Amino acid sequence: MPELPEIETIKNGLLEKVLGKPILEVEVNNASVLRGGKNIFKKTLGGESFTDITRRGKMLIFEIGENVADKKFLLARLGMTGRLVYFDSDDALWGGYSFKDKKSFSHKHCHVIFTFEGGGVLLFCDVRRFGYMEIVDEMGLKNKLEEFGPEPLSPDFTLGIFRDIARNKKTNIKAFLLNQKYIAGIGNIYADEILFESKIDPQRSIDSLSVKEIRAVYDAIGKILKKAVANRGTTFSDYVDAAGDKGNFKKFLKVYGRAGEQCLRCDTKKIRKIKIAGRGTSYCECCQK
């Protein structure tokens, strides 16, 4: 599943391609991925253009049209297997769940197709349909954004704020990092990398962490996510960035995907994989305490 660095990379790719281009047609092949129904979707988007694309956590927000008085937004969540694919006569962008062989790409799981003036086409595809698209107004967007904790790369995400969020929580640190209500955008890969970097056992409960350990987790969140964004996210079996390039962060992964391999830091133990909060969790029991 794409996380903050991957969605940020997709967003940047799409900004270059679709911004300000009139939408000639919206074709809906499977309305089950739309929240709010097909008619409102087609009516709101037809003839309009995307005037901005932003990201909140793992959610993409497309601002629709110039109408300031009654602004509408298209929200897109890629879920586990969602993809956004854009192509025109010169270029193709592939974001989200990867294609083993792009030549064999079929439109079977492309549920929504946007055709832009000039011939560009944006597809929203999702095999398992855990992702969705939804049109909301300003109030709807505000309500949606309230479901998220702070953006970890925003200057507002200070150590003080992190301490406040963590205060009195009894959950384990891994589940805490995955909870979008506490911090937005972190998923399984980066949670494991952050905890390895900060040398914290993912099973530890938050209220057992010392001031110094909380600080170490906070510092690791910024460090790991910044580095991942700079490297266009991680390459693994189900992620390719918007430009069709594989992200470069894989070479920096220290624990994720390394279960059974020797720890790169202590070189005495093999990386262990356990389940926490229903998610596979890789860590080193020797250097994460």
The site for Zn ion (CB under 5 A) is made up of 263, 265-266, 284, 286-287
Asked if 42 and 262 touch (Cβ cutoff 8 Å), the reply is: no
Q: Known catalytic residue: 279?
A: yes
Q: Known catalytic residue: 58?
A: yes
DSSP 3-state of 121: strand
What is the number of other CB atoms lying within 10 angstroms of the CB of residue 198? 21
C-alpha dist (Å) from residue 236 to 3, 180, 220, 253 = 12, 22, 21, 11
What is the number of other CB atoms lying within 10 angstroms of the CB of residue 179? 17
Shortest separation between residue 283's beta carbon and Zn ion, angstroms: 9
Annotated catalytic residue, options 3, 48, 134, 193: 3
Nearer residue to Zn ion within complex by CB, 7 or 271: 271
Nearer residue to Zn ion within complex by CB, 80 or 287: 287
Q: Known catalytic residue: 35?
A: no
Nearer residue to Zn ion within complex by CB, 18 or 191: 191
Nearer residue to Zn ion within complex by CB, 158 or 262: 262
Asked if 233 and 9 touch (Cβ cutoff 8 Å), the reply is: yes
Q: Known catalytic residue: 3?
A: yes
Q: Of how many residues is the chain composed?
A: 289
Annotated catalytic residue, options 11, 21, 58, 72: 58
Shortest separation between residue 199's beta carbon and Zn ion, angstroms: 9
C-alpha dist (Å) from residue 28 to 22, 93, 106, 117, 258 = 18, 20, 16, 18, 40
- Residue in this structure with the two tokens 């025109």, named with its chain if needed: 88
- Two structure tokens written together for 144: 């949606």
- The amino acid occupying position 134 is E
Nearer residue to Zn ion within complex by CB, 40 or 264: 264
Shortest separation between residue 240's beta carbon and Zn ion, angstroms: 30
Alpha-helix runs per DSSP H in the chain: 4-18, 38-45, 138-145, 159-166, 173-178, 188-197, 211-230
* Residue 198 to residue 216: CA distance in whole angstroms: 5
Shortest separation between residue 286's beta carbon and Zn ion, angstroms: 4
Annotated catalytic residue, options 35, 227, 254, 279: 279
Element (H, E) at 110: strand 110-116
Shortest separation between residue 173's beta carbon and Zn ion, angstroms: 17
Catalytic site positions: 2-3, 58, 279
